[in-house]
Amino acid sequence: MNRIWITWEYQIRNSSMARELNAQLFEIVEEGSRAPRYLKSIHKTLSIISKHKPKVVFHQNPSIVLGLLLILARPFFKYKLVTDTHNAGLFPAEGKHPFLNWIGRKITSVTDVAIVHNESIAETAKPLQDNLFIIPDPLPELSTTIDINSPASKNDTVVFVCRWSADEPYEAVIDAANQLIDQDVKIIITGKAPETIKNSDLPENIELSGFLSKEEYQTLILTADVLVVLTTRSNSLNCGGYEALAAGKPCILSNTQTLKDFFGDSFLYTDNSPADIANQIRLALETKHDLASATAQKRQRYLSEYQSYINGLNLQVESFYK
């Protein structure tokens, strides 16, 4: 097993990228408080590396703890390290803590190869790392054994793909739902909601999905009428946007130049205010067939272009074996 990919969270980019790069994926996701969780994850990570003795280790940053561990372990296990650097890897905790920022940037500077999602993040990473590859997400493989052609609900279903992170304007989506209360629209919000949200007085057209299995989540995506994927970050490419593209679903994204440049006019965009989110949901539902057609065309173009992104990185990784 020459290549392994290690992550400490479930995220579809990990599985998609590992598949494209022919790396064995190890998802280490522990529950509980921070210290015991980190200790268990560290032990499992080192056990995997010790057992498989890979020549190349890919990992996702964040977690910066995982990144730091793999940097420290590299001299002992003699592997090359490829770091998939996310925005939160360069600026942990929304960039509020200088020491964490320093660690995140240090990981990027001393890894053997850094991967970033887009040109905006690359501008930050380039001064830190000469061996840098810009590789957007592969389109995920969405499959389910559940019949997605079963009779439709009487309500239009909008799925807000959410992890309840600080950069996601979920309160604005909840306020937007109030503005759609008199319409036949159900808004399902994914992810494990905070207790403050679960215990609040939510609009009757909001449904919290809670934790979903992979199959349940994919079924939800494939049966939705419209997807909503939002961020307050200016240089982030949301995984949910790729999922919408893979599923051929109408999608509403935040109105950032990074997202507009990448996804183009196949999607709709919002300024993240409750009023505009509600307006874009109405427009997406009214034009969902046209949007789905545009998304399907964009999907085909993306699939034909993607291999060029991955070939250069594969050549670099193969050079490690020589």
Render pLDDT for 40-61 as a digit per residue (tens, 0 to 9).
999 999 999 999 999 999 999 9
Question: Can you give the pLDDT at residue 274?
Answer: 98
201 vs 309, more confident: 201
Q: Give the residue among 58, 62, 243 at the shortest CA–CA distance from 144.
A: 243
Q: Which of 114-128, 142-156, 192-206, 228-242 has the lowest mean pLDDT?
A: 142-156
pLDDT of 267 above 90: yes
Tell me the average pLDDT across 153-163.
Answer: 86
Taking the C-alpha atoms of residue 152 and residue 140, their distance in angstroms, rounded to an integer, is 25
Tell me the average pLDDT across 215-233.
Answer: 94
Q: Do residues 209 and 191 touch, judged by C-beta distance below 8 A?
A: yes
Question: Can you give the pLDDT at residue 16?
Answer: 86
Q: Which two tokens stand for residue 257?
A: 């130049």
Q: Where in the chain is the domain with CATH 3.40.50.2000?
A: 3-135, 156-301
Q: What letters, b where the CB count within 10 A reaches 16 and e where it falls short, cover 2-39?
A: bbbbbbbeebbbbbbbbebbebebbebeeeeeeeebbe
pLDDT of 232 above 80: yes
| pLDDT tens string 11-34 | 888 988 999 999 999 999 998 888
DSSP state of 191: B
pLDDT of 152 above 90: no
Task: Give the CATH fold of the 156-301 domain.
Answer: Rossmann fold (3.40.50)
Q: Which of 18-22, 55-59, 117-121, 225-229 has the lowest mean pLDDT?
A: 117-121
Question: Can you give the pLDDT at residue 309?
Answer: 83
Taking the C-alpha atoms of residue 256 and residue 235, their distance in angstroms, rounded to an integer, is 8
Q: Do residues 281 and 226 touch, judged by C-beta distance below 8 A?
A: yes
Question: Can you give the pLDDT at residue 124?
Answer: 87
Q: Which of 70-74, 86-90, 230-234, 241-245 has the lowest mean pLDDT?
A: 86-90
* Helix locations, the chain, DSSP H: 12-20, 34-52, 64-77, 87-90, 98-110, 119-125, 170-179, 195-198, 214-223, 239-247, 257-263, 274-286, 288-319
Q: Give the residue among 225, 193, 224, 227 at the shortest CA–CA distance from 211.
A: 193
Planar angle of CA 274, 279, 284, nearest 5 degrees: 125
Tell me the average pLDDT across 75-97.
Answer: 87
pLDDT of 146 above 90: no
Does residue 116 sit in helix, strand or coil? strand
Q: What letters, b where the CB count within 10 A reaches 16 and e where it falls short, cover 264-277?
A: eebbbbbebebebb
Taking the C-alpha atoms of residue 27 and residue 116, their distance in angstroms, rounded to an integer, is 20
Task: Give the CATH fold of the 3-135 domain.
Answer: Rossmann fold (3.40.50)
Q: Do residues 11 and 32 touch, judged by C-beta distance below 8 A?
A: no
136 vs 230, more confident: 230
Question: Can you give the pLDDT at residue 13?
Answer: 87
| pLDDT tens string 90-100 | 887 776 788 88
pLDDT of 1 above 80: no
Tell me the average pLDDT across 259-266.
Answer: 91
Average pLDDT score over the chain: 91
pLDDT of 304 above 90: no
**What burial class does residue 236 get, using C-beta atoms within 10 Å of its C-beta: 0-12 exposed, 13-18 middle, 19+ buried?**
buried
270 vs 308, more confident: 270
Global pTM reads: 0.72
Question: Can you give the pLDDT at residue 239?
Answer: 85
| pLDDT tens string 270-291 | 999 999 999 999 999 999 999 9
pLDDT of 149 above 60: no
Residues 6+ apart with CB under 8 A from 39: none
Taking the C-alpha atoms of residue 293 and residue 320, their distance in angstroms, rounded to an integer, is 43
Work out the pLDDT band at 147, boundaries 50, 70, 90: low
Q: Positive or negative CA dihedral for 43, 46, 51, 54? A: positive
Q: How far apart are the first and last CA of the chain?
A: 16
Question: Can you give the pLDDT at residue 144?
Answer: 62
- Return the percentage of the chain with pLDDT > 90, whole number: 69
